[in-house]
Structure 1
Amino acid sequence: MNKRIQPRRALLGTALMAALLAGQALADTASAPAQPLDKLQTLKEMDGKAPSHRMMDIQTWQTAAGSKVMFVEARQLPMFDLRLTFAAGSSQDQKSPGIALLTNAMLNEGVAGKNVEAIAQGFEGLGADFGNGAYRDMAVASLRSLSASDKREPALKLFAEVVGKPTFPADSMARIKNQLLASFQYQKQNPGKLAGNELFSRLYGDHPYAHPSDGDAKSIAAINAQQLRGFHDRAYAAGNAVIAIVGDLSRDEAAKIAEQVSSALPKGPALPHMPDPQAPKAGLTHIEFPSKQTTMLLAELGIQRDDPDYAALSLGNQILGGGTFGTRLMSEVREKRGLTYGIYSGFTPMQARGPFSISLQTRAELSEGTLGLVQDILRDYLKNGPTQEELDNAKRELAGSFPLSTASNASIVGQLGAIGFYNLPLSFLEDFMQQSQSLTVDQVKAALNRHLDADKLVIVTAGPTVPQKPLPPPTDKPQEQPMGVPEH
C-alpha cells in the first residue's frame, strides 16, 4: 500500500515525540552536613559498582470516595509532592476530540471567587507550585508545597478547589481556544507533527488513540463550557483518580490530605479500560512537503504498560536505538554513513498497546535508501539479537541511571502515579531492575520477536519527491558532519 497525501506548506521538521507521561525530572537537594574531603566517594572508590538508589516503602489504601492512594514518607526536606492521575486523557474524548486537553488546561483558570491571576498569586504567595497536563491515557494535576501546616493547609484548600470545582470562565476558554487554533496553523508548517498525526491515524484506525490529543480546529471550536463540565464530572471523578503523595508527612497526615482532595472531586466510578486496538495494515504513506529533508516515522503496535516482557523489551530497545551514540541505529545510520543527525527508537507502553516507533530525518534525495537501510537494521537485529557485549553494556548503563528514578520526591511521585494508574505491583521498580540485570541474549531476542516484525511496519514519510541518489558506503571513520541536517 502506498497512500499519497498532497501538498501542505512547511517551514519546520521534527521527529515524532512519543506521548507518555509519568514523572517530572526535578532534583531535590537534601540538607546534610558537609563531609571531610578524605571521606568523599570517588568514582575509583565505587570500583565499578552501580550507585545505590533510594528504597521506597510504598503504602497504599483507598479513600472513602474510591480514590486509590499511593504514599511514600520522605523526611529529608520540609515539603511534599502531590500528584493526581486521572483516566482523563484524549482517549476519553469520544465525539469531541481535544476536550480532554481543553478541560485540563482550564482547571486553574477560575474557581468560585478567584480568577486565573488570583489562583496563580494564591499558590505563589504560599511558596507552592501547581502543575497540570493531559496526554493520551491520562490527565494529571500536581501540587508541591511546604509541609508546615500554615502553608500546607491553604495550599491544599486552593488545590482541591482548582481540581474539584473549576468554573470554566468564558474569557479564559476563548483565550485558550485561540491559542490552540493558532497552534493548528503552525502544525501545518511542521512535517514532524503532520507525519505523527498521520502515523497514529494509520496505526490505530477507529481506536480512541487514533486522533491527535489536541483535537483539531473544527472540534475545538465546537466545544462549550457545558461539555467541559460534563467531561470533568465524568473523568475527574474520585473513583477515576490515583492520588500519589511523597514527602515530609506522617501516614495520618497523608490520609487526611487524600480524603480532603478526594472528597472535593465529583463523585463517580473509574472509567473502563481502553479496548485492544486492531492490527493495522502495514505500508507506506507519503505526505508531499516542500523541504530539503524527509521526516520518517516507522511504527507498529507495541505493548501494554503491564506486559511481562517490559524489562526485556526496554533493554533490547536501549541497544537498538533507545539511547544516543553507540546504539545500532545511530552507529549504522549516522556514525558510519552520516545520513542523519539523530535516529531513535522506543516503546511507548500504555493502557492499551502503545506504539513501537523509529524516527529520523534525512536528506530528501537519500530518503528511499535510508528507509531501506533502517528496515534492514531492524530485520537483522530481530534475526540475530544483541551481542553479549551490547547486553552487558546496556545493563551497566541501566544500573548507573536507575537511581535517578527515585532521586527526588518529584521523580518518586511520578513513579507512584504510574504504578497506581497502570495497576503495577508495588515492587515494580525493584522487579524491573532485577529482571533487567538477569536477562540473557536469548531472552531479549525472544521478547523482541514476540512483539516486533520488520515486515509489519506502518511507515509515514513527509518531504519532497525528488530523484534519488545511492547511499554512501559505510566507513569506520566518523563523519565530520552528518549529511542530513535537521531543519529549524
Structure 2
Amino acid sequence: MLRMIIAVCLTIIATTARAETDIRQVTSPGGINAWVVEEPSIPFVALELRFEGGASLDLPGKRGGTNLMSALLEEGSGDMSAQEFQATLEDLAASLSFRAFDDSIAVSARFLTENKEEVIALLRQALLAPRFDQDALDRVRAQVLSGIASDAKSPNAIASSVFNAAAFGDHPYGSSIDGTIESVTVLTRQDMIDAHRNALVRDRLFVSVVGDTTAETVGALLDDLLGDLPKEGPPLPEDVEPALDGGITVVDFDTPQSVAYFGHSGIERDDEDFFAAFIINHVLGGGGFSSRLMTEVREERGLTYGIRSYLVPKSHAEMILGTVASSNETIAEAIEVTRNEWARLAENGLTEEELTTAKTYLTGEYPLRFDGNAEIAKIMVGMQMIGLTPDYVVDRNDFVEAVTLDDVNRVAGELLRPEDLHFVVVGKPVGLESTE
C-alpha cells in the first residue's frame, strides 16, 4: 500500500512544472547549510546530498576505491546485514541511492513524511556506520569487475577511455572511476574504510531538501543526520589543462562500425561567456535533430544515426566534446564533415534565426526540468556546487535572452578551434590512420 501511495505522489508532483521555486537557505545549529523548498501539499520528501571530491580522491594505487565504497553503503550498516538493510528500506517504501562521480558522491533519499524519522535514521546509519562486510565487498567487487570487462569490449567505452587518458594522463580524469581489473581486485576492507573517511566530510557537503517539511525543522534533522561526519578531508586534485593536440588516434578493433570520440578544451561554468557558449553548442550539436552536425552528417549525407556535442565543465578541467558512429567505410567522411562544421561555425557564427530558435527552445524547456520534488532537489544541490545563488532559478532565462548575436559570434570564434579537435576512432576505419 505504501509503495502505491508513493507512486501516486510522484505522479501528482510530476504534473506541475515549477521554475519559480521559493528556496529558503538554512544553517543548522551545527553549521550545516542547506537549501529548502517547502511543499506540504504532498506527504513526500526528497533529500539530496553532494560531497565534493568523489572519485578524484582515490588514493595512489587504489583507483576504483571510492566508487566501490559508495556502492557498498547500502550493503549493510550498523547491526544490519545487506539483506536486513534492504528489507527495512522496502518496508518503509523509501529509496536510498549512493553513487560516485568524477568530482562528487551523490546521496539521494526519497520517503513519505510519516516515515521520515525511520528513513533518516537508516540513512544516518549507512553514512556513519557502513559494515563493509567481506561477503558484500566480494559480491559488489564482482559486479564492478564484470562492468570493467564489458567496457573493454565496448567501442564507445574504449574511445572515451583512450581520449581521457591522452587528455589527462595521471590526473584522476585520465582513468575510469571504476578502476582497472588489477586495482579493483586488490582493494581491501581497509581501503573501503579509508575511502569512506576521505570522501564523506562536512566541509565539502551540499544539501537540498524539497517536500513536506519546513525550514525550521530541517536544521535539527541535518545535525542529527550529518553532524558526526568528519569535518575535513584530504586536498582535492589540482586543475588540469587537457594535453591533446589536434589530430586522430585510431584504435584497431574488429567491428563493422567505427566510433569516434572527439573534442578539445572548453569553457568554465562561471565564465561570463558561458551562456553564449551554451547557445553555440546547442546549435552545433546539442540541439538534437535541429543541430548543424545532425543536419550535415545524418540528414544531408546519411553517415550516421546520431551525432552530438556537449559542454563538459568539470571541477578541474573544461572540455567541449562530441561523439559519432559510422560505418568503417564512411567514418572518415563523417569526421571531415564534423571538422568542417566546427570551422564554419567558428568563422561565420550563427544566424539571427538560429539564435532566436535556440533561445526559444532553451528558455521554454527550462521550467519543464522542475517536474517534481526529486528533480528540484537535484537542481538545487547542483546549483550550490557551482556557486550559484537561489535567484538563478528565476534569472536563468534572462541570462539566455541577454545573449546577443555579436556575443555568440565572438565566442564561437574563441571557443571552437577546429585545428585543436582530436578524434579517437575505435574500429577499422577505411582511409584513416593515427597522426601521432
TM-score, normalised to structure 1's length?
Answer: 0.82
Deviation of the 1:411 alpha carbon: 1.0
Deviation of the 1:309 alpha carbon: 2.4
Q: Secondary structure at the match of 2:418?
A: coil
Q: How does 1:286-365 map to 2 (within 5 A)?
A: 286-365=250-329
**Corresponding residue number in structure 2 for 1:236:** 200
**Corresponding residue number in structure 2 for 1:389:** 353
Counterparts of 1:368 and 1:101, CA distance in 2: 36
C-alpha contact 1:303 1:350 (8 A) present in aligned 2:
no
**Corresponding residue number in structure 2 for 1:120:** 86
**Corresponding residue number in structure 1 for 2:97:** 131
1:87 aligned onto 2:87:
no
**Corresponding residue number in structure 2 for 1:153:** 117
1:267 aligned onto 2:233:
no
Q: Secondary structure at the match of 1:455?
A: helix
Deviation of the 1:212 alpha carbon: 0.7
Q: How does 1:33-52 map to 2 (within 5 A)?
A: none
Deviation of the 1:467 alpha carbon: 5.4
Q: Secondary structure at the match of 1:316?
A: helix
C-alpha contact 1:419 1:425 (8 A) present in aligned 2:
yes
Offset from partner CA, 1:360-385 (integer Å, 9 cap, x none): 10111122222111101001011111
1:410 aligned onto 2:336:
no
Counterparts of 1:55 and 1:211, CA distance in 2: 39
1:99 aligned onto 2:65:
yes
Counterpart amino acid of 1:146?
L
Counterpart amino acid of 1:230?
D
**Which runs of no fewer than 5 residues in structure 2 stay unpaired?**
1-8
Counterpart amino acid of 1:281?
L
C-alpha change, 1:63 and 1:250, in structure 2 (3 Å) is closer
C-alpha change, 1:199 and 1:402, in structure 2 (3 Å) is same
Deviation of the 1:53 alpha carbon: 4.0
Match of 2:414 among 450, 455, 471: 450
Deviation of the 1:196 alpha carbon: 0.4
**Which deviates more from structure 2 when the two are superposed, residues 313-322 or residues 269-278?**
269-278
Deviation of the 1:76 alpha carbon: 2.7
C-alpha contact 1:82 1:246 (8 A) present in aligned 2:
yes
C-alpha change, 1:450 and 1:207, in structure 2 (3 Å) is farther
- Give the paired residue count: 422
C-alpha change, 1:53 and 1:153, in structure 2 (3 Å) is closer
Q: CA RMSD in A?
A: 2.1
Deviation of the 1:31 alpha carbon: 10
C-alpha change, 1:305 and 1:123, in structure 2 (3 Å) is farther
C-alpha change, 1:179 and 1:463, in structure 2 (3 Å) is same
Counterparts of 1:253 and 1:185, CA distance in 2: 47
C-alpha contact 1:280 1:458 (8 A) present in aligned 2:
no
C-alpha change, 1:251 and 1:192, in structure 2 (3 Å) is same
C-alpha change, 1:298 and 1:27, in structure 2 (3 Å) is farther
C-alpha contact 1:82 1:244 (8 A) present in aligned 2:
yes
C-alpha contact 2:309 2:322 (8 A) present in aligned 1:
yes
Counterparts of 2:390 and 2:268, CA distance in 1: 18
C-alpha contact 2:332 2:430 (8 A) present in aligned 1:
no
Deviation of the 1:302 alpha carbon: 1.7
C-alpha contact 1:238 1:269 (8 A) present in aligned 2:
yes
Counterpart amino acid of 1:102?
L
Counterparts of 2:118 and 2:215, CA distance in 1: 20
Counterparts of 1:290 and 1:31, CA distance in 2: 45
C-alpha contact 2:46 2:108 (8 A) present in aligned 1:
yes
**Corresponding residue number in structure 1 for 2:365:** 401
**Which deviates more from structure 2 when the two are superposed, residues 246-255 or residues 306-315?**
306-315
Counterparts of 2:180 and 2:30, CA distance in 1: 35
**Percent of pairs with identical residues:** 26
Counterparts of 1:84 and 1:259, CA distance in 2: 13
Counterpart amino acid of 2:199?
A
Counterparts of 1:467 and 1:386, CA distance in 2: 32
Q: Structure 1 or 2: larger helix share?
A: 2
Q: Secondary structure at the match of 1:399?
A: helix
1:276 aligned onto 2:242:
no
Deviation of the 1:166 alpha carbon: 0.7
1:366 aligned onto 2:344:
no
Counterparts of 2:29 and 2:237, CA distance in 1: 26
**Which deviates more from structure 2 when the two are superposed, residues 67-76 or residues 381-390?**
67-76
**Corresponding residue number in structure 2 for 1:29:** 12
